[in-house]
Structure 1
Amino acid sequence: MRIVILGAGQAAASMAARLRAGGHDGPLTVVGAEPVAPYQRPPLSKSYLLGQMGLDRLLLRADDWWPDQRIELRLGETATAIDTASRLVATDRGSLEYDALALTLGAHPRRLPAAMGGDLPGVHVVRTLADVDALAAQMLPGRRLIVIGGGYIGLEAAAVARKLGLTVTLIESAPRILGRVAAPQTADMIRALHLAHGVEIMEAVSIERIMGDSHATGVALADGRELQADLIVTGIGVAPETALAHAAGLAIDNGIAADDRGRTSDPAIWTAGDCASFPWQGERIRLESVGGAIDMAETVADNILGADRVHDAKPWFWSDQFDAKLQIAGLGAGYDRIVTRPGDGQHGGSVWYFRNGRLIAVDALNDARAYMIGKRLIDSGRSPDPAAIPTVPDLKALM
């Protein structure tokens, strides 16, 4: 069986390793548009941007692992079309035949429109190694950085910039930071953390355009104010890579639509990672996380080899900002009750999300114990008494 994996990120690396470990002995090819072997993305906006981690530590596998496993790694090559009838992938360098095809194409950062100056030099995004290398060269002490977007990527970039000695202003058009992904109580903790480190945060502020002719020089706000900057980072979310799948006639629904085994609407094509959506607890979701990519990729690998295993996602995430770690278990969307528990330090504590009396998520800032207990409860389907969370002396008593 000839297996081809399109996309060369975390999901692809995990899937390829699982296929070989699971006994696949036939041809196995991984095609990636970037010129570098699969690497970790989370450290890009944190330790790599800070200069604390080199490329050698970013790589998911040593260079000799791929040939040792007889995996053909085709880098700097872009898939351009999928012929589902002939089971053929066309690329900018040729073509590949497949018996099973896996799409692990990831996502791309959303950008401001060109009419707003989104394509000006000096406007950066944070997604790929090339993105961060370009940004790192401009992150010089004393420079003025404007971050557009108060989600996790924008906040992480702001934290790194402050540690590098830049003056940082973060602008969020919504009423508050983390508006789409976290409760107000979590946003309050993160806001306080950034303010304590000198980040200026502007919420409920809209941008009219990025100023500059040949290079970004700042932003013009909708209320008429103008803010000067030496560089700008946009962190306004990502969109799943679906163009190739859509052109091939595959079903698209908030990503490349998969069933609960990871199979797309074409029986010979599978999907995993940030580009994939799948059924979960009565709804269709898409997880943008390392853990989600690994788990789904391994399930798909097993199913390509005939396991017929359901993908049982257990969402978890993390974000490092300054010297604080935010750990998240579960998905808090649709909560109807929030309970908070104070932490030990100035910047710390946990936020517990409930829906219809059931614990669905926990955000823990500098509180690994709350995260671990919360995750175990969520994964096991158990829900503690919300009233006990703030006052119980030992969180283990909730188990």
Structure 2
Amino acid sequence: MLPLALLAGVATQLRAEEPRPAATTDFAGLILHLSEDPGKFHSDNFVSNEPGYPSAIEGLRALGIHGGAYIGVGPEQNFSYLAALQPERAFVVDIRRENTVQHLMYKALFAAARNRLEFLELLLSRPPPNAPEGESSRAAMSVQELLTAVDSRGASMKACEQTIDSVSARIEENFGFPLTDKDRVTLRHIHSAFAEAGLSIHYSSPKAVKQEPTLRELMLARDTYGNHVHFLASEKDFQFVKQLHARDRIVPVTGDFAGRQALRKAGEFVRDRGEVVSAFYLSNVEQYLRGAQYAAFVENVRRLPLNDRSVLIRCAFEKPTQRLPGDHSEQADGQFWPHALLLQRAQRFVELYDEGAFLTHEDLARQDYLDWTSGR
């Protein structure tokens, strides 16, 4: 779930505190070309708070959604969707400049890490002393073995400082992205939070009324067949995302779903390459788009290069009248997280909107979702 401040019209625009130097690579130039002015936020979206993502991945696989271009929002949950969809490219569009900085941090960590274990060592500043030796043994680690290895040692703040310095240098020197002083403060805040909390890090909001799922719980989440589908649960999935990053195919963008630039230009970029958007992960951003804001969002979806298989992935927190195929309202590790990850054909969504079918956000969670469980 994404915070209220992600919304068009609600987010307060921040004035640039310093001149933005130019990008020095095509990758960084594309980020700046697509991005809009950022907005304020009241939450730290360090990790996702949607542990039901395995249901959506199960649905995507059952429906045969694969390849194309992906658009998403938020932090690391996008990597699990990418591993499942295997797209040609991805754009992660979020109104928070902090999200762009966090994804650049991830890109630097993917570049530095040879495998999942090294990635978690760098992310959490926890070099585990009892890790298996050799690439083959590390690649074969189960997700529980991976977590146990990382848990075997506390954080090294010296390692944290070294990683912050190396990540900053890689972002500017290798990726060609010009970090501002505020970006550097943001990077330090994000990476230090991962070092301090470790696998217990979670989505943080001052208005939270319950404990959100931790990174550990997100990594251990399973689909209905009992499979772990987090991108760090499989070395193969990790390596796919790593290669996408190496090819500069995961582009973080500061942008508004109801804005005039980010989604439109990303769609034009995809169309110019003869591709279509196979999946657009919305989280629950729609919940806060009202009136003209929502109309602008629908128009942005309409302009995307879509086909009859393109899907929207949305998170619904309303209590449905019946159990939905992506429902995750269940007990997990002592916590209760009622929500559903729903899939809908993108073109059908636009058609229904034009027909006036969506009068409330609750209508989105009750109409026209795809049931991939039929026939079981």
- TM-score range (shorter-chain normalised) is under 0.3
Of structures 1 and 2, the one scoring higher in RCO (CA 8 A, sep 6+) is 2
Name the TM-score, length of structure 2 as normaliser: 0.28
Q: Max radius of gyration: which structure?
A: 1
Give the alignment's TM-score, normalised by structure 1: 0.27
In terms of fraction of residues, the more helix-rich structure is 2
